[in-house]
Chains A and B, each alone.
Chain A
Amino acid sequence: MKIRLLVFALGLIGVLLLAACGGAAQPTSAPPTAAPTQPTAVPAAPTSAPASAEPIKIGGGFALTGDESVLDLPAANGAKLAAKEINAAEGINGRPVELIVHDSQYKMDVTAQICKQFVEQDKVIAVIGFTDTDSVLACGPTIQKAGLPFITAGATSPKIPTQVGDKTYLACFGDNVQAAVGAEYGASKFGKTAYLLWDKGVEYTTLLADYFKKRFTENGGTIVLEDQYDDKATDFSAQIAKVKALPKQPDFYFISAMPYNVGPVVKQFRDAGLTGPIIGGDGYDTPDIVSVAGKAADNVYFTTHALIDAQGGTEGIKKFIAAYNKEYGHDPENAFAALGYDTMYLIADAIKRAGSTDAAALLKAIQDTKDYPGITGKISFPDGAHVPQKGVTVIAIKDGKFTLGVEMVPEKVPAP
């Protein structure tokens, strides 16, 4: 019995050590500035701003592990990078900023808990983060009740502010905007008939498909066939068989998919001989699409927040890529890194203009944001809106590379 316990204990210690080494080798882990004795959390950015002043604490909630981490990890890295830059440049009104990051593990009870932790234990003045609607809805009410501002980096459901409350803002465009751009772009470039396929297991993909259908049919388009698949499906042959049975192929295919599905779905469409243009939403913004689908990804177009490309991107994006590369040793994975970066700067800008960390003043400053020059586009919240008016970037995949198609503002946006 005792021997078994001993083996058990040794095994446990071994695993802990192994995990510690593995973690340290990750390029994403921050420089070891953290004091290991600190009980709760640690500033993600080393403070080079005036150390004497009390830091301004901002909560960063991200699903750093779990299914959503493909998007949340880059967003968290972007936000941390921004916090570091802000501190290197004298902080906010002479005070350093401290971004406290907690991992929500993409579990809803943990998500609800870390947001209580932000309010009660970390005593933050605002919370940023998350790239999916479920997490925002699990976290938002706690922040709303505490009266603190909450800006989501990448959850694109335009319904979030009405569902959570008046202290919640989006740093990204809503799904209705990007779906409208997808519909208008497809209609003007390829034609008036489309095939519509969506992942029925996720709110984002369902909403995006709904908004697309609304705008496309309103614009005079016809959806020749609509179909769905289960979340995390790996085999799309049933859907493809129905498409192939169509008497005439549509002008383009609109496929509303999650990042982990885009590679397989595009590849299987191409393998089946369906070579027409495929249009999608910002779920396509992952390097996986090219690495999984390879050449098959050509003639794919998608709407997203910015083109993260060292050659084709804007000046701001180029600078951001260089800084990100220096900090983490690799290029940003996708536009969510840029969104995380913008969200951090957006809240910093509001604190600066508010001149205080008081919640009411800060909320007013966020609402008054006008033409804030983010790297993912100019951000304003006009007429009490909580979803910003922003341009949408359409990216075309050509020869296995993301290239800038066009920057668009939709003519008409379906109601949320």
Chain B
Amino acid sequence: MKINHSRLWSWLVAILILAVVLALLQASGQAFWQGIVINVGIFIILTVSLNLSNGFTGVFSLGQIGFMALGAYGSAILTLPLREKAEYLPRLPAWLAGVHFDFFVGPFPLGFMLATLIAALLVALVALLVGLVLMRLSGHFVAVATLGFLVIVRVILFNADDFTRGSRTFSNVTPYTDLWWVWVWAVLAIYVVWRIKFSSFGRTMFAQREDRAAAQAIGIATMPPRLLAFVVSAFFTAVAGSLYAHFITSFSPTVFYFDLTFRVVTMLVLGGMGSVSGSVIGVLLVMALAEILRRIEDVNQLYGLSGVVLAVIFILIIVFRREGLLGSREIPFDRLWQKGGANQSAVISEQ
């Protein structure tokens, strides 16, 4: 796909608007609202990358949060300052006990970025190995198998005491994650997944999702697009894990389990399997609803309301609008300025 300049401008304008909003929020000093926007960004990375593997290829993986856990623990072990490392993880092997990714270049935490990248690349490698086996499966078999992967990750985290403190809370992680880190990664994730969707690779993903036999008949292999989606998805999921770890600063393996899996899947299904903008909208809606319901809970003392309502919405969507809000369509924000505008692009983006 050749770069279309008006589209590029749309991206730049959108990013500029986002940057202004973030700068204003940063200047306001309101940690609560910053926290919400950070959470939204992290969940956007999670949902958009889950969409790449689950939505685009139709291979429904439930193991994504396992990659998140690996990313979180991997990066946190790397960035933990040496003094804390000696205290909390005394039995780390020497080559790991000596490394510390807490260095800065000026105000820029280069160590954190390197740790995130290293963890994410390692997780992508794990995903490649796991994917070579699991991506051969389809339908509900893959859901069960990836769920098995999630369980295996959890068991490993519990039992690798020397690296993870086992069941105990992994605490005193340096809070590097801020608005900018999260949103730079979120924009990058959105951009990459968006470009994949409208590339030939993306079209092979959709083709083999819709009808595998027909796709194979015209020479589209099933494995390469699935594997690519799975590995790229795992990479960004691990990045989200690293950001999450350096945001909440203390966590245990129980944090990365069914609860988070369910939340991300809800956001994905609500927005639409196969739609990047749908995923963003799904995250915004669920997060906004959860926050509003939490306020209603406080006022009326109806604790537990948000869980019930979100679950019921999920059921209603599955029953009445299985394709989610947007299905595989996109809000063509990058073509609004083009001649012919949205009308023309709606047709294109429907493929």
Contact = CB atoms under 8 A, between A and B. Distances in A.
Contacts of A30: 301
Interface string A15-39: 1100110010000011000101011
A121 B34 CA distance: 13
Contacts of B36: 113
B158 interface: yes
Contact of A113 (B39, B250, B301, B312): B39
Nearest to A73: B303
Nearest to A157: B169
Contacts of B111: none
B309 A16 contact: yes
Contacts of B171: 137, 163
B27 interface: no
A12 interface: yes
A75 interface: no
Contacts of B309: 12, 15-16, 19
A65 B320 CA distance: 29
B162 interface: no
Contacts of A199: 167
B32 A201 contact: no
Contacts of A369: none
A117 interface: yes
B301 A29 contact: yes
A398 interface: no
A116 to B, nearest CB: 4
A230 to B, nearest CB: 8
B166 interface: yes
A64 B301 CA distance: 10
Interface stretch (B18-26, B129-137, B215-223, B290-298): B290-298
A20 to B, nearest CB: 7
Interface string B304-328: 1111110011001000110000000
DSSP majority for the B interface?
helix
A142 B301 CA distance: 25
B213 to A, nearest CB: 31
B316 A12 contact: yes
B305 A137 contact: no
A4 B252 CA distance: 42
Given A109-B248, A134-B252, A116 B167 contact: no
A307 to B, nearest CB: 28
B40 to A, nearest CB: 11
Given A8-B316, A163-B172, A20 B300 contact: yes
B298 A36 contact: no
Interface string B86-116: 0000000000000000000000000000000
A137 B301 contact: no
Nearest to A202: B167
Nearest to B315: A11
B347 interface: no
B167 A19 contact: no
Given A11-B312, A141-B249, A65 B298 contact: no
A4 B320 contact: yes
B348 to A, nearest CB: 23
A103 B248 CA distance: 17
Contacts of A112: 35, 247-248
B31 interface: yes
Contact of B303 (A16, A65, A119): A65
Nearest to B170: A137
B35 A107 contact: no
A261 interface: no
Contact of B169 (A15, A16, A121, A133): A133
A158 to B, nearest CB: 13
A147 to B, nearest CB: 14
B254 interface: yes
B302 A20 contact: yes
Contacts of B304: 23, 64-65, 103
A108 B251 contact: yes
Contacts of A12: 309, 312-313, 316
B195 interface: no
A108 B32 contact: no
A23 B309 CA distance: 13
> When A and B form their complex, which 3 residue pairs have the shortest distance between CB atoms, in order from nearest?
A23-B302, A137-B250, A64-B303
30 contacts: A4-B321, A8-B316, A8-B321, A11-B316, A15-B308, A16-B309, A19-B302, A19-B305, A23-B300, A23-B301, A23-B302, A29-B301, A29-B302, A40-B295, A42-B301, A102-B294, A109-B248, A112-B247, A112-B248, A113-B35, A121-B32, A134-B251, A134-B254, A138-B251, A200-B158, A200-B167, A201-B167, A205-B167, A206-B167, A230-B158
Given A11-B316, A12-B316, 5 more contacts: A8-B321, A20-B300, A34-B301, A134-B252, A206-B167
Interface of B: 30-32, 35-36, 39, 158, 166-169, 171-172, 175, 244, 247-255, 259, 294-295, 297-309, 312-313, 316, 320-321
Interface of A: 4, 7-8, 11-12, 15-16, 19-20, 23, 29-30, 34, 36, 38-42, 64-65, 101-103, 105, 107-110, 112-113, 116-117, 119-121, 133-134, 137-138, 141-142, 163, 199-203, 205-207, 230-231
